[in-house]
Amino acid sequence: MSSNDNHPRLGGELPTGSDPLSSNSQSLPLTALAFSHGRAAITWLVHRNPSIRKTLVCGYTCPTVPIHLRRLGLEVNTFDVGCSIETLAALAKRNGGSQLVLLPALFGRDPWLDPQLLSEHVGPGTHVMIDAAQTAFGHVDYVPPRFGSVLSVPRKSCALGGLAWLRMSEPIDEVTSSDYRSLPVEKKVGAGKRLARDYFANGNLNFELDALKMITRYEDAWPDGAHRADEIDIEMFLRVDPKTHRECRRRNAAELKKLLCAAEAPIRFPDGRAGKGGVPFNFPVLLPSNIERGALLKELHKQRLFATPLWPAAECDPKAAPLSDEYRQRLITLPVDQRFNLSQINQIAEIFVQCLSS
């Protein structure tokens, strides 16, 4: 089968060559450590703080997170998207003892709560982590709460094999640095993911099918243990131009929202309770109840617009976390990443509106 240049893949995994590069390499963050993936960073943090026995996570989050936390032996409790600081602090106090609170930067937006103020409300026995996994530069953009941290996962929004940054609130002392350096380096999964991105960049449909199989296989192969990042991914990341990365995603999201509003598409946008600002990871929309999400996604995929429902299997109690439950059932996300220009964003809007009304 020949090249699919006339039928571009809109969305899905970023192919090699998607990232804007800078002539000057970034500097390594002084208070951040590079892990193979997000769960590896969380594992290391929990093992470094054995007094942590409980966690609080958002009801709308990737289901692999609470599953992983339970594998680490932690009790997992949840809170709703958009809850108040008072509500979250009360849940933390009810938990009692040392615990980990994952405050999400949903869709790449800023957290809806002030992380510093939240840290003050819950007290020093609680480690507040800004879960900016859907950002490439959250470890730079966000200041860790006191006694807390920031987690960003560039492998999700850059064309890398692996890489997650964990930035601590305190300077990294020699004991911590030595413990980190003793960790094994994960190379196999990252190399497989990079090869799959090469296949996507090839533009051949046969290669694309192989790449999809590889992505699934290697995503399932991430180890539960704490592993350092491959130096190849670190070097690739340090060459990405942060300014252009941020500007592209913000421009594309703003343009897509303008187009969908002009088309009067029968959708809602998640409101400020999910956070504002930030650097968009994707563009979330809430579908009306009369639209069957699965059927719509099937039509979008036929047009090679690879929208996603994101986390339909998210763990949440509909009564205790109604907004999380609505996102789980009604939300889809559209791509706005750095590989697209405004013409392609227009194409994404046209396809989406057409499929929505058909």
Instruction: Give the CATH number, domain containing residue 74.
Output: 3.40.640.10
290 within domain boundaries = yes
Residue type at 279 in one-letter notation: V
Whether the predicted pLDDT of 57 surpasses 90: yes
pLDDT attached to residue 7: 64
22 within domain boundaries = no
Pair (39, 171) in one structural domain: yes
pLDDT attached to residue 6: 54
CA distance 278 to 266: 25
Specify the number of domains making up the chain.
3
Residues 267, 288 contacting (CB under 8 angstroms): yes
pTM of the model: 0.95
**Residue % of the chain over a pLDDT of 70:** 98
**Residue % of the chain over a pLDDT of 90:** 87
DSSP state of 229: P
Whether the predicted pLDDT of 1 surpasses 50: no
Residues 33, 172 contacting (CB under 8 angstroms): yes
Mean pLDDT in the chain? 94
Local structure of 245: helix, strand or coil: helix
pLDDT attached to residue 246: 98
Pair (172, 246) in one structural domain: no
The CA distances from residue 155 to 163, 231, 236, in Å, are 5, 13, 11
Looking at residue 347, which CATH number applies to its domain? 3.90.1150.10
Helix (H) or strand (E) holding 334: strand 331-334
Whether the predicted pLDDT of 33 surpasses 70: yes
Domain of 98 in residue numbering reads as 32-181
Note the pLDDT tens digit of each residue in 139-158: 999 999 998 999 999 999 99
Whether the predicted pLDDT of 343 surpasses 50: yes
Pair (192, 160) in one structural domain: no
Task: State the sign of the Cα–Cα–Cα–Cα dihedral 153, 159, 163, 167.
Answer: negative
Mean pLDDT score, 310-316:
94
The model's confidence at residue 124, banded by pLDDT at 50, 70 and 90, is confident
Pair (147, 267) in one structural domain: no
pLDDT attached to residue 87: 96
Mean pLDDT score, 158-163:
98
Pair (143, 260) in one structural domain: no
- Backbone φ and ψ of 158, nearest 5°: -135, 160
Note the pLDDT tens digit of each residue in 228-253: 999 999 999 999 999 999 999 999 99
